[in-house]
Amino acid sequence: MNALTNPGSKTLQFDLTARKSILTIAGQKAEVLTYNNSFPGPLLEAQEGDQVMVRFHNQLQVPSNLHLHGIFMSPEDDKPHEVVAPGTTLTYAFEAQAGSAGMYWYHPHAHGSVTRQLFEGLSGPMIIRGPLDRIEPLASATEKVLVLHDIQIENGKVAPHEGMDWGRGKEGNLVLVNGESRPTLPIPTGLLRLRIVNASAARYYKLGVPGKKLQVIGLDGSFLEQPVSVDTLLLSPGERADILLEATEASTLSLLNLPYKRTPMGPSQDTPVEGALLATFEVQGDTNTVHLPEKLLEIPELNLATATDHKTLTFGATMQPLQFTINNKVFDHHRTDLSARADTLEVWDIVNPMGMDHPFHLHTFPFQLISLNGEPAPFRAWKDVVNVPANSTVRIAIPFRKYTGKVMYHCHILEHEDVGMMGNLEVL
Ligand code: C2O
Ligand code: CU
Ligand code: CU
């Protein structure tokens, strides 16, 4: 089989141009921000082993930049602090490393303007493929990439953020899947593989398909050890999921966004419309038998007894001005908040004493969820975003391997990030 003999070793070059475009979105003409005139931006695909170059051209009137979210690359190459002036180009380069097959995405990261640039349309998906993708049963699964990105259009423009939007995190009234409202996708009977990115600034999605189990085979930028069968899966902003559905016979499958309250103390409009439809799959063809993969990626159990440091990060906020904090500090680009040593393991407690959820994201270094409020994680997974529910503590373990340098950690509700909920970690 051809694909098997194609371990990546190519040099790939992608060009992404950010600009203002007029697109028709859910039947309305609107001025939005796009990569290559497309909302969401184009799918970037690489194989493990490939050298990847992404040339980012900023054709906006304002500074921007590009962050390749979740990619295991050196902090120097990630360079989220570096801003790309209007009319200029910056190249981001990395090697798609062995073991990094998974779902990624890209978005702007210019502090203070991330929320608006993303909310107005700037995000796109990226996939790295590896050996597991080239063998059965995944090799012949029907794959659909679904980028979930909400938006709100008023008078031909993207609706502005107002006062409390910066506190709650603004949810657009148009919930779009690949830029479309409630698309219908025809698929053949067999194994359906959904690769879903929550590319929304603030909206959460609790995914479910009535009548079907979701067989989760990957989260964020990694496979799991074996499929995990669930009825629903919560995706907070920045998180990705790789899900198999056994679409064995002709039928109609509905991907729903089920109610979830991310601000249990907050206003009720935060709850998504009950059972809101995201997309419909029209399964066509003869009845087909399918097999789930049995063994996926081996994920090492981390020996917490060897951890060299135990850190606590506590979320908070101030009013007037409205700012969000980590360990009582508002983000400062010039300050190093935490440090760690290369080639060590650390355990972090992320403490959220607030009445709203916050998705915690760390650049460069994947981590494992150890426990939520003392309850052990149900299965092992490499993650780069973890939701920290209201009034909860999440414990994660992070092996600092391979790279040194300064990396960022932040809340992935982008409003919170822009108003201070971010810090710098230096790995020495
Ligand atoms: Cu997806 Cu620092 O970001
Ligand atoms: Cu990131
Ligand atoms: Cu937050």
**What residue spans define the domains of the chain?**
2-129, 138-284, 304-427
Transcribe 340-389 into DSSP letters.
E-TTEEEEEEEEE-SSS-EEEEESS--EEEEEETTEEPSS--EESEEEE-
My answer on whether omega of the bond before 63 falls inside 30° of 0, hence cis, is no
Taking CA atoms, 263 is separated from 204, 256, 418, in Å, by: 11, 20, 19
Q: Which atom of ligand 1 is nearest to the CA of 385?
A: 1
Q: Which residues, judged by CB distance below 6 Å to any ligand atom, belong to the binding site of ligand 1?
A: 67, 69, 80, 107, 109, 238, 361, 363, 408, 410, 412
Fold topology of 2-129:
Immunoglobulin-like (2.60.40)
Cβ(284)–Cβ(232) under 8 Å? no
Which ligand has an atom closest to residue 359 CA? 3
Q: What is the pLDDT of residues 224-251, one digit of tens each?
A: 999 999 999 999 999 999 999 999 999 9
Do the two domains 138-284 and 304-427 of this chain adopt the same fold? Answer: yes
Q: Which atom of ligand 1 is nearest to the CA of 417?
A: 2
What strands, in cross-sheet order, belong to the sheet with 28-35? Answer: 89-95, 51-58, 11-25, 28-35, 157-158, 153-154
CATH number corresponding to 304-427: 2.60.40.420
CATH number corresponding to 138-284: 2.60.40.420
Nearest residue (by CA) to ligand 1, atom 1, is 69
Q: What is the DSSP letter of 84?
A: B
> What distance in angstroms lies between residue 4's CA and the mean position of ligand 2's atoms?
31
Planar angle of CA 210, 215, 219, nearest 5 degrees: 115
Q: What is the pLDDT of residues 377-411, one digit of tens each?
A: 999 999 999 999 999 999 999 999 999 999 999 99
| ipTM attached to this prediction | 0.98
Average pLDDT over every residue of 94-108: 97
Q: In angstroms, how far is CA 358 from the centroid of its own chain?
A: 14
Q: What is the pLDDT of residues 116-170, one digit of tens each?
A: 999 999 999 999 999 999 999 999 999 999 999 999 999 999 999 998 899 999 9
Q: Which pLDDT score is estimated for 235? A: 98
> What distance in angstroms lies between residue 411's CA and the mean position of ligand 3's atoms?
5
Give the residue carrying structure tokens 């919170």.
Answer: 416
Q: What is the pLDDT of residues 330-362, one digit of tens each?
A: 999 999 999 999 999 999 999 999 999 999 999
Cα separation, 7 vs 5, in Å, equals: 6
